[in-house]
Structure 1
């Protein structure tokens, strides 16, 4: 259990339910546009947070493939953190360090 989970457990039950509902909404997003809308942000907000032009944010939201660093920047502009988890043979492996290495420009 991380610090956020501990903090949430200190909230009143109704607030815990509201947090859980909001988390479920965010998990249900099927596109970057939906994720941005759920976060209550505009393309202009993402543009300001990433340094991408608004027109490029629009194009990015329609893409099916992109660099991890681009996706990480987009998610961080929404106030989030990119987590990458592989599920192999029923085992979950956190690969988030790959996204972090992309920040530092590390190459294999």
Structure 2
């Protein structure tokens, strides 16, 4: 159990339920547009936070393929953190460092 889980357990039941509901909503987002809407942000908000033109934000939300650095910037503009986890043979491996390396221009 991490520190956030411990903190949430100290909250009243109704607040814990509200947090769980909101987390479930965010987890069920099927695309970037839905994720942005659930975060309560507009394309203009994302544009201002990322420096992407609003028209490019719209195009990005429709894409199925993009650079990790672009996805990371988008998620961070919503106040989130990009986490990449591979599930192989029932074992979960955190690959988030790949996204972090993309921030610094590292290439494989």
Partner Cα separation in structure 2 for residue 9 and residue 21 of structure 1: 15
- Alignment RMSD (CA, Å): 0.7
The alignment's TM-score, normalised by the length of structure 1, stands at: 0.97
Shift of 1:2: 2.2
Residues in 1 aligned to 2:39 and 2:6: alpha-carbon distance in whole angstroms: 23
Unaligned runs of 5+ in 1: none
Alpha-carbon separation, structure 1, partners of 2:41 and 2:89: 37
Q: Give the distance between the partners of 1:34 and 1:19, measured in 2 at CA.
A: 18
Moved over 3 A (4+): none
* 2:65 partner SS: coil
Listed one character per residue, the Cα deviations across residues 57-77 of structure 1 (whole Å, up to 9, x for unaligned) are 000000000000000000000
Structure 2 spans left out of the alignment, 5+ residues: none
CA displacement 1:40-72 (0-9 Å, x = unmatched): 000000001111000000000000000000000
Q: Secondary structure of 1:11's partner? A: coil
Query: 1:21, 1:11 → 2: CA distance?
Result: 15
* 1-10 or 70-79, which deviates more: 1-10
The count of corresponding residues between Structure 1 and Structure 2 is: 108
**Aligned-residue offset at 1:7:** 1.6
Q: Deviation digits for residues 13-58 of structure 1, max 9, x if unmatched?
A: 1100000000000000000000000000000000011110000000
Offset of residue 95 of structure 1: 0.2
